[in-house]
Chains A and B, each alone.
Chain A
Amino acid sequence: MVWILPPSDTEERDSYGAMYQRILSTHRRASLVSASSVVMLVATNVDALCASRMLVTLFKHDDIGYTLIPVSGRIKFAEVIRKLRESHVDLHSLLLIDMGGNYDLPLDEYLGVLNPKVTIHVIDSARPYSLFNLFMGGENGDRFFLWDDGGVESILDLKEAWEITEYEPEPDSDKDSDGNTDEEDEEAADMENLSEDDEDAEDGSKKRRRKEESGARKRQRKGDRISDEDWEAHQDRIEKHYNTGAYYGRSVACIMYTLAVMLEREDNELLWLGILGLTYQYIASRISAKTYENERELFFDEVARLNPQPQENDNVHSFLSINPDDIGIRATTELRFTLLRHWTLYDSMFNSGYVAGKLGLWREKGKSRLSGLLAKMGLSITQAQQSYSHMDMDLKKNLVSKLEEVAPEYGLTDYTYESFMKCYGFHTQPLSAADAVEGLDTLLEVAEGIRLEVEIEGTRNGGEWFGVGRIWQPDAQEKRQVAQVEVSKNSKAIDAVGMPETQNNSESKEFDWWERNFWTAYDAIGSIQSLRRSLDLAMSVHRAIHRTGTAIIDRQDIKNMRNHRVILLTQGPDILLFSHYGMLRRLALWLVDALRDRMPVPENGQVKRRALPVIVACLNEIKASYIVIGVSASLDFGNVHKNKFAMSFIKAVSDLNLDLEFSSFDCSILELDKNDLKIFLDKVCSI
């Protein structure tokens, strides 16, 4: 694989622009082109969505026909590759957006089977990279291009270690590696497997087969045998690369924006999409606050460059567009209250993980603390429960200053962060980046497939919402109904509640809903009306998460298994909602925030604050399975630890010989049979 680094001022090197030109020139020179000559496989998250949209804009400018295929996980990936081989004969460029970096792509199992003239570009934010991917050379390896953010330079010295462990047999084992070896780890082939696994287990947990290298290479190197300690040292370095845990590098949307700048085609639309990608990474706890701050500063300069500055006024929260055609972006200081401008102040504080964690809002005591905080700021509960657009003007203006005075007493020290917002002329009020990301993320997860009740605006009149609402519908109801009528002809009622009658129908529905969601979200990026509507859905989702989280903590349902906090979700009104991976991840992150400050772990009689990783398992009754996710926790808000669960899950699955496929790209979330849950959890916690 050839890795492409971001453009640098100091040295002349090929960068993203050159790669893009390569796609362009191959397209222009090819004799047989169609819309399927350039194919983009896009992972289903907000970052990839924004990046794909940016790339699509660039392709449209250059009149390149393309095909965009959303891919939700490994199974779909394999299916798509198969289809590409069979039907796309004029394919010459394949782009993997936010996926594939940790798979051994040159292998036949993945992309090795594709026609050799196809070039493959991998743009992935997940780390660590698969070393096989990076260092595998040869004709097969060199048609892969990895668009990196510069981080790859620090692991280039692993190349030597990799080659040695890869191509040389373990010095003290005399047996040849016969047939196919099994890997415990997710990524590279560890030669230590040779000695440990004698059996050739065909369980579905193994991620890739390693084709045996030809004996010739081994014979060559036999001459200069490497010593045991050196080999072990190299082995350790490789393992360390993988075992420190999964983390995320620069967002894919940021890389796309860098490409646009290199091609001198940046504008406000692309800039906004880049900002959304970065904000998504921050909100989904993929990157730490510090990384976010660094990247944000770059975007701040861009915003200043491309947008005229509004007049300075002392009203920091004057979020108005200057004129009806103002579609500019402005930098703002945002409060950490989710969806503040679209909800009531009380609700947005109630449902933000940050505040919930600091004040302990799952208890009555916590709720009274919140009211106390509001009272100290001079707000009555009814005032705080007015929707934001009807809040008193002077309250809005002074909100930040009042918070500054009062909040530190309650432990809320870090309640603002810098972000951006986009104006939409006089259509609607400006939308902040975080809100847009919330809306898109919700659309991607639950636009269809789950019925959620949404509050009807205006029926509340300042008070708590007691739950009478309407079912949220995505736009274009007529089209959707036609499709549903057809669907229901072939298969029994799905009714968007997710209760199909037969098993195979549920499979096809499962693959359909996320794809439709992807396209709904894709359309919503361009349409502010759809985005605003999706915020209602986002609010319902937040409520559901809060309800479930509160119920869990109330029930004291958190077990402590050997340094892990394990939570089983077997009942509750929202359990169907959490059979979606993204929702489960959100719940897990909410729990991490909530449990951070409030539940110290008693250890040897003294109460010590520890940040224990959290495992959440949610029951899916229809399929009689559990969906398990593991997230690492960090001690302070805004720090992100590397996630070791991917490795431990894979190890546990292979050790126990469980028969399952990892269906998502991220191996820290998987689906298990009901009966295997207990042994699996035991195994994971003991790793």
Chain B
Amino acid sequence: MALPQSLRVSVTPPELELVASQQLVEIVPLIAMEKTAFISGAYGPLRPPNKAKVPLWMAVNLKLKKKCHIVAPEWLNVEFLQERVNLETTQPTFSHLPLRFAEIAKVILDVASNDLDNPDKIRSLLKDLREARQAKSRDGLKELDHSELSLPNLCSMEINEIRPYFVQAMNVLTQLVRNPVPDPLR
């Protein structure tokens, strides 16, 4: 990454987006393409109107050139997200979501919002999810101790967000545990 050393506290969100773009998504191609070899593997052939599975970066590229339609992943719709939001707000634990849902959702909403059903509602639901989970992870960090931090079902963006903090915090706590300050009143 081209940031200077002092700013490299963690992976940046655009990098996470890049990593997430390697996941396969389904598209409906509008042009035909033979099975082509790319660095990460061979994809294709694309035979409209049959669906095909290609990496997200390729789907985005084709979509920008109006050569495909992106099919939303099965979790990117109003019902699924609404259900998850309800779970988040009622239970103290995190609900299960795909690991890189935030990045993939962002990319697809940016590029292919017209292929989605009700993109505005999806955006607002994603926002609700983020806020609920953020509150929970803040609470969870209070239980931080020197050896273990267990926050199940946390997703990659959220992990990335708290990583600088808890890594440092755990270092400090470990030192404190190893060298306990003697009680001055003893």
Instruction: List residues of chain A with CB under 8 Å of any chain B CB.
Output: 60-63, 264-265, 267, 323-325
- Whether B65 contacts A325 by the Cβ 8 Å rule is no
Contact in complex: A61, B113 (CB < 8 Å): no
Question: B30: nearest residue on chain A (CB-CB)?
Answer: A264
- Is A325 touching B66 in the complex (CB atoms < 8 A)? no
* 14 A-B pairs (CB sep. < 8 Å): A60-B65, A61-B65, A61-B66, A61-B67, A62-B65, A63-B65, A264-B30, A265-B66, A267-B66, A323-B120, A324-B120, A325-B113, A325-B119, A325-B120
Within 8 A of A (CB), among B112-150: 113, 119-120
Q: How far is the CA of A61 from the CA of B65 in the complex (A)?
A: 4
Question: B66 contacts which chain A residues (CB < 8 A)?
Answer: 61, 265, 267
Q: Which residues of B contact A323 (CB under 8 A)?
A: 120
Q: Shortest Cβ distance from A271 into chain B, in angstroms? A: 14
Number of A-B contacts defined by CB within 8 Å = 14
What residue of chain B has the Cβ atom nearest to residue A265's Cβ?
B66
Shortest C-beta distance, B120 to chain A (Å), equals: 6
Q: Kindly state the separation between the CA atoms of A323 and B119 in the bound complex, as whole angstroms.
A: 11
What are the residues of chain A within 8 A of B113 when measuring CB–CB?
Answer: 325
Given contacts A61-B66, A324-B120, A325-B120, 10 further A-B contacts (CB under 8 A): A60-B65, A61-B65, A61-B67, A62-B65, A63-B65, A264-B30, A265-B66, A267-B66, A325-B113, A325-B119
Complex Cα distance, B66 from A63, in Å, reads 12
Complex Cα–Cα for A61 and B113 (A):
19
Residues of chain A within 8 A of B119, CB atoms compared: 325
B-side contacts of A265, CB under 8 Å: 66
Closest-CB distance, A254 to chain B (whole angstroms)? 20
Expressed in whole angstroms, the Cα–Cα distance for A551 and B127 within the complex equals: 61
Kindly supply a per-residue 1/0 record for chain B positions 157-185, scoring 1 wherever the CB is within 8 Å of any chain A CB and 0 otherwise. Answer: 00000000000000000000000000000
B4 CB to closest chain A CB (Å) equals 25
- Report the Cα distance A684→B155, complex, angstroms: 80
Bound-complex Cα distance A265 to B67 (A) = 9
B113 (CB) vs chain A CBs: closest residue: A325
Q: Is the interface on chain B under 10, 10 to 19, 20 to 34, or 35 or more residues?
A: under 10
Looking at the assembled complex, report how far the CB atom of B31 sits from the nearest CB atom of chain A, in whole angstroms: 10
Question: How far does the Cβ of A379 sit from chain B's closest Cβ, in whole Å?
Answer: 39
Closest 4 CB pairs of A and B: A61-B65, A265-B66, A323-B120, A61-B66
Q: Inside 8 A of A61's CB, which chain B residues have their CB?
A: 65-67
Closest-CB distance, A267 to chain B (whole angstroms): 7
- Chain B residues contacting A267 (CB-CB under 8 Å) are 66
Closest to A322 in B: B120
A265 to B65, CA, bound (A): 9
Complex CA–CA separation, A60 to B120 (angstroms) = 29
One digit per residue, 1 when the CB lies within 8 angstroms of any chain A CB and 0 when it does not, for chain B 4-34 equals 0000000000000000000000000010000
Please, which residue of chain A has its CB at the minimum distance from the CB of B119? Answer: A325
Once the chains are docked, how many angstroms separate the CA of A106 from the CA of B30? 39
Residues of A within 8 A of B120 (CB): 323-325
Q: Complex formed: what's the CA distance from A323 to B118 in Å?
A: 12
Q: Determine the chain B residues whose CB is within 8 A of the CB of A264 once the complex forms.
A: 30
A324, B67: Cα distance in complex, Å: 26
A267 to B64, CA, bound (A): 12
Q: How far is the CA of A118 from the CA of B13 in the complex (A)?
A: 48
* Closest B residue to A62 using CB positions: B65
Chain A proximity mask over B50-87: 1 for CB below 8 Å, otherwise 0: 00000000000000011100000000000000000000
- Chain B neighbourhood of A325, CB < 8 A: 113, 119-120
Alpha-carbon separation in the docked complex, A371 to B113 (Å): 50
List A contacts of B30 (CB < 8 A).
264
Bound complex: CA A264 to CA B31 (Å): 11
Chain A residues contacting B67 (CB-CB under 8 Å) are 61
Chain B proximity of A20: nearest CB distance (Å): 14
| Cα distance A61–B119 in the bound complex, in angstroms | 25
**A60, A62, A63, A325 — which one has the most chain B CB atoms within 10 A of its CB?**
A325
User: Which residues on the B side are within 8 Å of A63 (C-beta)?
Assistant: 65
> When chains A and B are docked, how far (Å) is the Cα of A186 from the Cα of B119?
57
Most chain A beta-carbon neighbours within 10 Å: one of B30, B66, B120 = B66
Residue of B nearest to A263 (CB): B66
Report the minimal beta-carbon distance from A21 to chain B, rounded to whole angstroms: 13
Contacts of A324 in B (CB 8 A): 120
Give Cα A324 to B109, complex, Å: 14
Complex Cα gap A60–B30 (Å): 17
In the complex, chain B residues whose CB is within 8 Å of the CB of A62: 65
A63 to B62, CA, bound (A): 11
Cα–Cα, bound, A264→B66 (Å): 9
CA distance A129 to B54 in the complex (A): 50
- CB-nearest residue of chain A relative to B66? A265
Q: Whose C-beta in chain B lies nearest to the C-beta of A260? A: B66
Least CB distance, A323 to chain B, in whole angstroms = 6
Chain B residue nearest in CB terms to A324: B120
From residue B84, how far is it (CB to closest CB) to chain A in Å? Answer: 23
CA separation between A325 and B123, bound complex, in Å? 12
Of listed B65, B67, B113, B120, residue having the most chain A CB within 10 A: B65
Alpha-carbon separation in the docked complex, A61 to B62 (Å): 9
How far apart are the CA atoms of A325 and B113 in the complex, in Å?
10
Complex Cα spacing A324 to B66, Å: 23
A60 to B66, CA, bound (A): 11
In the assembled complex, the Cα of A62 lies from the Cα of B30 at a distance in Å of 13
Distance between Cα atoms of A264 and B30 in the complex (Å): 10
CA distance A265 to B66 in the complex (A): 7
Q: How far is the CA of A323 from the CA of B121 in the complex (A)?
A: 11
Give the nearest-CB partner of B109 in chain A: A325
In the assembled complex, the Cα of A63 lies from the Cα of B65 at a distance in Å of: 9
Whole-angstrom distance from the CB of B134 to the nearest CB of chain A? 23
CA distance A61 to B67 in the complex (A): 9
Q: A80 to B14: give the CA distance in the assembly, Å.
A: 43
Q: Determine how close the nearest CB of chain A comes to the CB of B143; give it in whole angstroms.
A: 39
CB distance from B69 to the nearest CB of A (A): 13
A268 to chain B, nearest CB (A): 10
* Nearest Cβ on chain B to A279's Cβ, whole angstroms: 25
What separation, in Å, do the CA atoms of A264 and B119 have in the docked complex? 24
List, in ascending order, chain A residues with CB within 8 A of B65's CB. Answer: 60-63
CB distance from B66 to the nearest CB of A (A): 5
How far is it, in angstroms, between the C-alpha of A63 and the C-alpha of B113 when the chains are bound?
23
CA distance A324 to B113 in the complex (A): 13
A57 to chain B, nearest CB (A): 9
Q: Which residue of B lies closest to A323 (CB)?
A: B120
For the complex formed, measure the closest distance between the CB of B65 and the CB atoms of chain A, giving whole angstroms.
4
* Shortest Cβ gap from A410 to chain B (Å): 47
Closest to A267 in B: B66
Tell me the smallest distance from the CB of A322 to a CB of chain B, in Å. 10
Tell me, rounded to whole Å, the shortest Cβ–Cβ distance linking B36 to chain A: 15
The docked-state distance in angstroms from the alpha carbon of A60 to that of B65 is 8
With CB as the reference atom, state the residue of chain B lying closest to A264. B30
Least Cβ distance of B186 to chain A in Å?
64
- Chain B residues closer than 8 Å to A60, beta-carbon distance: 65
- Bound Cα distance A2, B67 (Å): 31
